[in-house]
Amino acid sequence: AICLFASQVPFLMFKYYEPRRVICSISEAYYRDGRTLWIQIMLGVNILTLVPYALTWIHLRSREKSSYTKRVFRAISLVMIFDVGGWLTAVSIGKLIQTSAMSGDILLILLEICGCIVQLGISIKPIIYYNTSIEYNKAFRALFGFDRA
């Protein structure tokens, strides 16, 4: 499944290739219908990614409410919100950008914002784990020498 998903990237790039100048963003690597297909695939993948998180959430909610379960649930929820939500938001904004006629400056600003949303979702995970997992917190502190007196 991963190989199939990864193979759609070069396929769309080559199938719809046309030489042109572009703004440096992920979606600009795709041309004409390739961009539409890529955005639709990414929206689908991001929506499907919510399924295992939702099933895990339902499973954890049905179990007893120990403090450990609550911490795990909180960590999973926050990671899902920032990671999947970041990608879903960025790709959705990309789809909206594609359907509207905007000037180059506004387009560039919105594409940069999309990139920042994704980067925030990726980079915030260690902070989430540090604040929600005692084990991660201890390992982090030991790795960086914060426990040494």
- The number of residues in the chain equals 149
**138 pLDDT above the threshold of 80:** yes
**149 pLDDT above the threshold of 60:** no
**12 pLDDT above the threshold of 60:** yes
Rounded to an integer, the average pLDDT of 120-146 is 83
Residue 9's pLDDT is 67
Q: How many CA atoms lie within 13 A of 22 on its CB side?
A: 15
Mean pLDDT of the chain: 76
Q: Is-contact 122 86, C-beta < 8 A?
A: yes
Residue 1's pLDDT is 66
- What does each C-alpha distance from 78 to 11, 97, 110, 126 come to in angstroms? 34, 27, 24, 11
Q: Which run of H or E residues covers position 120?
A: helix 104-123
Residue 64's pLDDT is 66
The reported pTM is 0.54
Q: Give the separation between CA 133 and CA 149, rounded to whole angstroms.
A: 22
Residue 81's pLDDT is 82
Q: From the CB of residue 133, how many other CB atoms can be counted at a distance below 10 Å?
A: 17
Q: Is-contact 120 83, C-beta < 8 A?
A: no
Q: Is residue 34 very low, low, confident or very high in pLDDT (cuts 50, 70, 90)?
A: confident
124 DSSP 8-state letter: T
Residue 78's pLDDT is 84
**54 pLDDT above the threshold of 70:** yes
Rounded to an integer, the average pLDDT of 53-81 is 77
